[in-house]
Structure 1
C-alpha cells in the first residue's frame, strides 16, 4: 500500500469539524473544565492542608529535622554525625529540668542550647537583636517577656528560676542579658530561652548531673543532648535512623547496654503513609469519584457528538478515509477541547482549594497559625495528568465507533438501532408512555450514563450526610472528658502536682475557687479529688504479677530505653504510690475492668475502709495494656502512712487509667478510695482537683466566668472545659460536611449538565424523526408531552436507583467505616436525598420543554427536506 502524506488534510478536516460543533464544544469544554477543577481542588486541598498541617506539626514537634537520636553524649554524637546517610545534624542540649518562675504557671518555658546554624530547623526566628555569645546572654521569645512584665527590648536583664535534677531537685536563680527577641508561635503554648555555646563550658559540671558514672541517662533533664538529623529526603526516616545507629556501633534493641533511642519526626507524614490504609483509601476514593464523574459526562458528550455526525464520518469513509484516520479526527478534537478546558479548570480548582484550606485548618487543632497555600507544581501536574487520562479514557469508545462504522451503516445509522427487532402487533402501541419507554430502550448505553451521572451526586450527598450523621459526640467526648469542667492549680496542668506536704500549699486547689463555682448560676453537681504520694505500699505484702520485671536481687524495675528504672521507694524501702480519695461524683466516673463492676457495690465496700481500687494502664484508644498489669482484683496489700501506721486492704476492682481523674505523674502504683477514708489516712490539704457539671444552656456563660476568675481573682488556678472538645467535634463534623458538600455540588452540576446535553442533543439528532411523527398526525403538544415524559422517566429511574444504591452503600461501606472509627456510631438515613427528588422531577419536565422550544418555529417540510 502506498503511503500518502495526508496528515495536514486530516488536521484540516478535524479543525473544520471542530468549528462546526459549537454547542458540543461549549458543553465539552465546560465538562472538561469542571473535571479538571475537581482534580485541582482535590490536590490543592490535599497538598495545601498537608503542607500547613506539617508546618504546624513541625512547630509542635520542635523543628523540621527528619528525626532525633535521643540522650546521646558528645562522644556518641561525634561517632554518629559522620555517617554517610546524614546530610546535616546538630547537638541540641536542654539546660534545665524546668523554668519555675511563677509567671510561667500557665505557659511552659524551656531553656535550650541550639547551634546558631541550626536555628532555621528549630524555627528560631530572631525578629530583633543578635544571637547570644557569652555565658550570661540569651535569646527570649516575645510572649515570655510579656509574661515577665518586661518590654520587648534587647539589652535588658531577666532572672530565671532553674530547676536542676528531678530525683533531688535544686533551684538556682540566674540572671541573663537579652541579646535578641524571638517570634513566639501563637499556636504553641511553650516559650523558649536559647543560651550560647559558652553556657555549656561555664556550667559543664552541672550539665553532667543527669548521667551516672557509666554515662547512662538518669532521667530527662539538664545536660541531655538531642541529636537532630536530616537526610537527603523524608522517606523511611525510622529505617534510616536505625541504620545510622547500628552501623555506627550502637544498638536499637531496648535493654542492650549500647542502646540508643530514636524516633522519626511525626510531622513527616511521608514516613508511614504506607501503613495508613484509611488515608490512602480516602484519597483513592476521591480520585475514583472524580474520574468516574468526568468520564460520565465527557464520554456522553463525545458519544452523542459522534452519533450526530455519523453520516459525516461515513462520507469520509466513502472518499477513502481510513478508520484510524477518523479516530485521529475525533481524538484531535478531544485534545483541542482539553487544551481549552483544562487551564480554566486548573485556575478555578486552585481558587476553590485555596478558599477551602483555611476553612479546614480553622476547624482543626492547628487553628490560629498562619495559613499558606503555595503554588505547588505537584498540584497542577497531578490535576493535568488525571484530567488528560479522563479525556483519553472517555473519548476512546466514541472514536472507535466513528472509526469502525461503514459508509452504508453510517447513512442509515439510527441511535440505538442494531440487531433483529421482534415485530409487535397491538392496538395500543401508539400510546405516548409506550413510545417513551421505547425511546429510552433504543440507546441503553446513553440512558445508563445519564441515570448514573445523576444518581452519583444524589448517592454521594446521602453518603456525606450519612457519615457526618454517624459522628457520635458522646463517643468523642468519652475519650477526652468526664465532666463539663475540671478545675485545679495551674501546676496540676503542668504535671507538677505530687501531693507532697512540703509543697502542697503552693500546688493544691483552693476551696475558695470551688465555692465560687458552686455559687455560680447554672452549677449542678461536682466532686473533689484528693491525692498524695506520701502513702506507700509495703513490699512484703505485694505479690508481683508475671508482667512485673525483677532483677536478680528481687528488686522491681521497668525499662526506659536502655536504662533499668527501679520502682520508686521511700527512705523506709516502701514503694511510693499515687493514692487518691474521691467524693461520690468522680467515683461514679471510674471504669472497672476486673473484679467488682457494680458502682453501688463498689461504693458500699469502699466506705468500709477495707477495700481499694487498683489502676491499670491503657493505650491511646482506652484498651488495657495487659503487659503492664501489676496486681489483680482480690490481692491483699498493706499501705503505710506517713507516720508509719499500716493499714490492710483488698483490691476490690481494677479500673482503667483516666488522665481526667489522676495527677498524670506516671506512678508505678495507683490506688483509689473514698474521700472519708483518704482523710483518715492523709489530710484534707491534699486537694488536687474538682470536677463538676453545669446546666447545658449555662455552659458558655460559666466558661466565661471561670476564665475571668482564673485571670483576675486567682491567677494561680486554671481549668479545662468540655466546650473545647465539643467545639473540636463540631468543627470536625462541619469540615467533613463542607468538603463533601462542595464535591457533591460539583458532581451534581456535572450530572445536570450531562442530562441537559443528552436531552438537547437527543432532540437535535431526532429532528427528522420528530418531524415525521408530526407528519403522520402527532401534534406538537403531544410531542412536547412525550419529550417531557422522557425527562420524568429519567428522573423517576434516577430516584429509584439513588434509593437502592444509597441504601446499599449506607449499609455496607458507611457501616464498615463507622465500625472502624472510635468516634462513630452508625445511623441509617435517607432523608438527605428526599429534597433532591422534586428538583430532579422539575428538571425532567423543564429541560425537554425548553430544549424543544426552538424546534416549534420550523415547519415539518423544511426539517424533513434539510435532513434528507
Structure 2
C-alpha cells in the first residue's frame, strides 16, 4: 500500500511531547534510568581514565621518562640524520657519565649525566628553584641527593660529588669534583633513579680524555629519546625509521651498538599503546569487550523495559492514532522522539553525577593501590564516550517498542490487556480447589513473560557482577603471589645486593652474628655467591646460543674460539654459583631429581638452576644440565692478562694502568693457575628471584655451603634468609632490622615479607573497590528496573485490583499477592544468578588465570547468599509501598478510571 508523504513532522513532534507530559511519573523513572546508565558509563570512563593516567604516569617515573622510545648509543651524525625524519616530532638528548655507589649512595640509584632541557622535562625534572647548568662547574640535583649529601637546597652551595666512570666495567674509575648548585627539584619516590645533571662543558671535558673500558661501558653513551605522532605503534615506527635511513635494529647490545649499520632501540613500555602492541592478546581483548557489552546490555535492559512497558501502557492510544490515519513509520517516530527527549534530560544528569562519582572514587582507588594521584581531571573524551554510549543504548532500546507500536491494529489496541494473548491450541485448566493467592501471583508473572524475563535478568545482572567481582578479587592467590617473590620473612644483605646496576658487595659475618642473636628466630640460612669468578664447561651449541643474546654471530664465534675446551668438546664459559646451607636448599623449587645430596659434601653433588616464566614453567634454554650429568667447574686462582693484538703479557701491577690507557686495543685473559673439579648433577631446580643474584646472563648452579667454601675457596655471603616464630617476633625483627640498617651498619639493607603482602592487598583492594562500585551502580539500575516493572504493573492493573476487591478480595489478600509477585521476581533473580555463576565460573577462572599468573579460581556463592535478605526485603517491601499509593483511591474511582 502506497503511503503519501505529508508535511506533518511538527504535528508528530507535538503528539510525542504531549504524550510524554501525560505520563510524568513514568517519564521520571525513564530519565532516572537513562541518567543511571550514563552515570555507569561516565563513572567507568572517569575511573578507568584516571587509573590509566596515574598508572601510566607512575610507570613513566619507574621507567625514567615519558618519551615514546630511544635510539641508544648514537653518534652526532646519526642524531643529525635521524632527527630529520618527519615521523619524529621532537628529540631529547642525554649523555651518561657515571654513578656514585659508595656511601651514602649505596642504597640509592643515582646517575650523573648531561641532559638537554627537553630531556630534563621528559625525566620529570621541574626545578623548584634555579636554572639549568650553564657554567662548567654548575649542577642540578634532586632533594634526595641533597639529603644524602647533607647539603641544604640553597643556590650557590658547594657540592662534592664522588662517582665512578665505567661503573659496569671490571675496573671503574673514581672521579671526585666539586660543583656549584644552580638548581634543585623535589624527588618523586615513584622514580627509581635520582639524577645529578651537569653542564655540557663539564661533560665534554670529562669524556674528552676518557677511554671506554669495554664494549659494554655506558660512560660516554649518548641516547636520543624521541616523541612520535602517537603511542600506538612505537616499536614498529622506530624500526621503519631505522630501515628508511639504512640502519638495522640491534636491540641486544648495549654499548657499541651504534657502530656500523646497527642501532639499538628501546620502547617505553609505560605507554598503554606500546603494551597492547607488544602483548596483543585476544583473551584480554575479549574480556574488555565482554565487560563493555555487559554494561551496555545492563543499560539496554532497563531502558528497553521502560519503553516496552510504556508502549504496552499506551497501546490503546497508539491504536486510536492508527484509526485516524497515523502510519507505522510515524508511530515509530513518536516513540523515537520520546526517547530522544528523555535522553536529553537524562544524559546530562548522568554525565554530571558520573563526573563527581569518578572524582570521588579515584583518590580512594589510588590510595588503596598506593599509586600517586598525578591527575584526577576527567578527559573530555570520557564525556564524549559516555554520552555516545548512552545515546546509542537509548536508540537501540526504543527500536523494538517502536515496532510493537507501529504494528498494532486499532481493534487489537482497544481490546488489549497485559498478558491477554492466548496461545493457539492451549487449554485453560480449571481447579476445583478455587483461587489461591500464591497461584494467582505466579499466574500474574506469566501474563507478560517478556517483561518478567527482562526484569529478572536486570536484577540478576547486579548480583552476577558482584559475584564475578568477588570471585575475581578472591581468586588472587597470595600464596602464589608471594611464592614468586618471597622466600622467608626477611632477606638481609649488603645494600648493593638490592640495587639495580653497580658492583655487588657481600655481607660480613659480624653482621650475621648480630642478626641471628635476636630472639624469636625459627630458622635461618646463609647463601654464598660466586658470580663469574668460576667457569663451567658447557656444550658448544648451548654456550653459543647463550652468548648470541649479547653479540653478533661473528663476535661470539671469535670469543668462543679463544676459550679453553675440554676433551669432550665442551667450552669454558662463565657461571654463577650459589653455596646454600640446608634451610636455603629447602626453599629451592625442585623440577626433577633429589636435593638431599647437596647437603652431603662426600657426594660431590651439584644442582642445575633453570629460570621459569610467570606461571612457573621451566625455560629450557636457561640451562643444559640434567640429573645424572657430569659437570666440570674450573676454579681459577690466578689469571694472565695480555694485549690481544700482540700477545704481550701485562704484569698484574700494571693492569689498572693498562685499562686506563687501553685506547683501541683489547685486553685478553686466560687462567694461569686453576683446578678443574667434577660434580654429578643431582637435581634440576628453580629459585625465587629474591634469593638469587637478581640478574641473569650466565648459567647458574647450586652447591652445598660446605662444598662451595671448600672447593671454591670462597666465603662471600650473598644474603641471609630469616624466618621468625610468631607475628610478634616478625614485628620485633622488623624494628631491629630497620634500626640496624639505618644506624649500626648503613651499608646493609633488607626486604620483608610484609612489604609484598601490603602490595598484594593493595592490588586486590583496587579490584574490590572498583567492582563494588560498578556492582552498586548496576544494582541501582536493576532496582530501578524492578521499581518500574512493579509500578507499571500496579498502576496498569488498578481497575483489575478494584474489580477483585469488589467481588470479595480483601486488601490484606491483595497486598499478600503483590508481595508474592515481588518475592518471585527476587527469587528468580537469585536463581538466575546462581545458574550463571555455576556456568561462568570455570570460564572466568581460565580467562583470569591466563591474564594473572597468581590467580586461582575458588568457587563461592557468598555474594549471592549475602544478597538473599536484600532481595527478599526489596521484593516484599517495594510492592507494599506502591500499593499504598493506589489504595488512597476508592474502589469505585479505580473502576471508573479506565472507563
Matches of 2:213 and 2:502, distance apart in 1? 22
In structure 2, what is the equivalent of residue 186 of structure 1? 189
Matches of 1:411 and 1:534, distance apart in 2? 93
Pairwise CA distance, 1:295: 1.4
Pairwise CA distance, 1:574: 6.7
Pairwise CA distance, 1:562: 4.9
| Cα distance, 1:425–1:289 mapped onto 2, change above 3 Å | same
**1:678 aligned onto 2:697:** no
In structure 2, what is the equivalent of residue 6 of structure 1? 8
Paired residues in the alignment total 840
**1:460 aligned onto 2:454:** no
Pairwise CA distance, 1:32: 0.8
Of residues 344, 351, 355, the one that matches 2:360 is: 355
Pairwise CA distance, 1:414: 0.9
Of residues 396, 402, 408, the one that matches 1:405 is: 408
* 3-state SS of 1:670 partner: strand
Pairwise CA distance, 1:571: 12
Matches of 1:497 and 1:676, distance apart in 2? 29
| Cα distance, 1:800–1:577 mapped onto 2, change above 3 Å | closer
In structure 1, what is the equivalent of residue 856 of structure 2? 825
Of residues 595, 607, 610, the one that matches 1:613 is: 607
In structure 2, what is the equivalent of residue 806 of structure 1? 837
Of residues 74, 80, 95, the one that matches 1:93 is: 95
In structure 2, what is the equivalent of residue 435 of structure 1? 440
Pairwise CA distance, 1:235: 2.0
Pairwise CA distance, 1:713: 1.8
Pairwise CA distance, 1:618: 3.9
Structure 2 unpaired stretches of 5+? 566-570, 639-672
Of residues 619, 623, 626, the one that matches 1:625 is: 619
Where does 1:81-120 land on structure 2 (aligned, <5 Å)?
81-96=83-98, 98-120=99-121
Matches of 2:236 and 2:484, distance apart in 1? 32
Pairwise CA distance, 1:863: 2.0
| Cα distance, 1:795–1:670 mapped onto 2, change above 3 Å | closer
**1:662 aligned onto 2:692:** yes
Q: Deviations over 1:295-320 (max 9, x none)?
A: 11111112222222222222222223
Matches of 1:193 and 1:411, distance apart in 2? 85
* 3-state SS of 1:92 partner: strand
Where does 1:340-351 land on structure 2 (aligned, <5 Å)?
340-351=345-356
Where does 1:247-396 land on structure 2 (aligned, <5 Å)?
247-252=244-249, 258-273=261-276, 275-364=280-369, 367=370, 369-396=372-399
Matches of 1:651 and 1:866, distance apart in 2? 93
Contact 2:591–2:684 (Cα < 8 Å) also in 1: yes
In structure 2, what is the equivalent of residue 233 of structure 1? 230
**1:695 aligned onto 2:722:** no
Matches of 1:561 and 1:375, distance apart in 2? 47
Contact 2:130–2:183 (Cα < 8 Å) also in 1: yes
Of residues 523, 533, 540, the one that matches 2:521 is: 523
In structure 2, what is the equivalent of residue 544 of structure 1? 539
In structure 2, what is the equivalent of residue 215 of structure 1? none
Pairwise CA distance, 1:624: 3.2
Matches of 2:225 and 2:714, distance apart in 1? 46
Calculate the TM-score normalised by the size of structure 2. 0.88
Structure 1 unpaired stretches of 5+? 212-217, 500-506, 551-555
| Cα distance, 1:531–1:728 mapped onto 2, change above 3 Å | same
Contact 1:298–1:391 (Cα < 8 Å) also in 2: yes
Q: Deviations over 1:588-616 (max 9, x none)?
A: 1122435x2x3334434xx2162222333
In structure 2, what is the equivalent of residue 603 of structure 1? 599
| Cα distance, 1:2–1:661 mapped onto 2, change above 3 Å | closer
In structure 2, what is the equivalent of residue 45 of structure 1? 47
| Cα distance, 1:92–1:764 mapped onto 2, change above 3 Å | same
Matches of 1:133 and 1:8, distance apart in 2? 73
| Cα distance, 1:622–1:781 mapped onto 2, change above 3 Å | closer
| Cα distance, 1:819–1:74 mapped onto 2, change above 3 Å | closer
* 3-state SS of 2:164 partner: strand
| Cα distance, 1:450–1:689 mapped onto 2, change above 3 Å | same
Q: Deviations over 1:254-304 (max 9, x none)?
A: 799622221221111112425143543343233222211111111111222
* 3-state SS of 2:789 partner: helix
Contact 2:129–2:184 (Cα < 8 Å) also in 1: yes
Pairwise CA distance, 1:111: 0.8
Alignment RMSD (CA, Å): 2.7
| Cα distance, 1:797–1:235 mapped onto 2, change above 3 Å | closer
Contact 2:113–2:203 (Cα < 8 Å) also in 1: no
In structure 1, what is the equivalent of residue 664 of structure 2? none
Where does 1:844-859 land on structure 2 (aligned, <5 Å)?
844-859=875-890
Where does 1:161-172 land on structure 2 (aligned, <5 Å)?
161-165=162-166, 166-172=169-175
In structure 2, what is the equivalent of residue 755 of structure 1? 786
Matches of 1:669 and 1:439, distance apart in 2? 74
Matches of 1:447 and 1:571, distance apart in 2? 82
* 3-state SS of 2:887 partner: helix
* 3-state SS of 2:691 partner: coil
Contact 2:635–2:674 (Cα < 8 Å) also in 1: yes
Pairwise CA distance, 1:147: 0.6
Pairwise CA distance, 1:2: 5.4
Matches of 1:621 and 1:560, distance apart in 2? 26
Matches of 2:623 and 2:616, distance apart in 1? 14
| Cα distance, 1:116–1:748 mapped onto 2, change above 3 Å | closer
Pairwise CA distance, 1:51: 1.1
Matches of 1:712 and 1:570, distance apart in 2? 47
Contact 1:66–1:264 (Cα < 8 Å) also in 2: yes
Pairwise CA distance, 1:451: 0.9
Pairwise CA distance, 1:73: 2.1
Q: Deviations over 1:424-469 (max 9, x none)?
A: 3332352222322221111010010111111111122222212222
* 3-state SS of 1:82 partner: coil
Matches of 1:52 and 1:254, distance apart in 2? 29
Contact 1:77–1:91 (Cα < 8 Å) also in 2: no
Contact 2:366–2:373 (Cα < 8 Å) also in 1: no
**1:863 aligned onto 2:864:** no
- Judge which range, 650-659 or 149-158, deviates more: 650-659
In structure 1, what is the equivalent of residue 137 of structure 2? 136
* 3-state SS of 1:177 partner: strand
Pairwise CA distance, 1:861: 2.6
Of residues 634, 659, 676, the one that matches 1:639 is: 634
* 3-state SS of 1:102 partner: coil
Pairwise CA distance, 1:856: 2.7
**1:740 aligned onto 2:771:** yes
Contact 2:532–2:698 (Cα < 8 Å) also in 1: no
In structure 2, what is the equivalent of residue 502 of structure 1? none
* 3-state SS of 1:13 partner: helix
Contact 1:360–1:735 (Cα < 8 Å) also in 2: yes
In structure 2, what is the equivalent of residue 483 of structure 1? 488
Pairwise CA distance, 1:641: 4.9
| Cα distance, 1:2–1:490 mapped onto 2, change above 3 Å | closer
In structure 2, what is the equivalent of residue 586 of structure 1? 584
In structure 1, what is the equivalent of residue 749 of structure 2? 718
Contact 1:579–1:672 (Cα < 8 Å) also in 2: yes
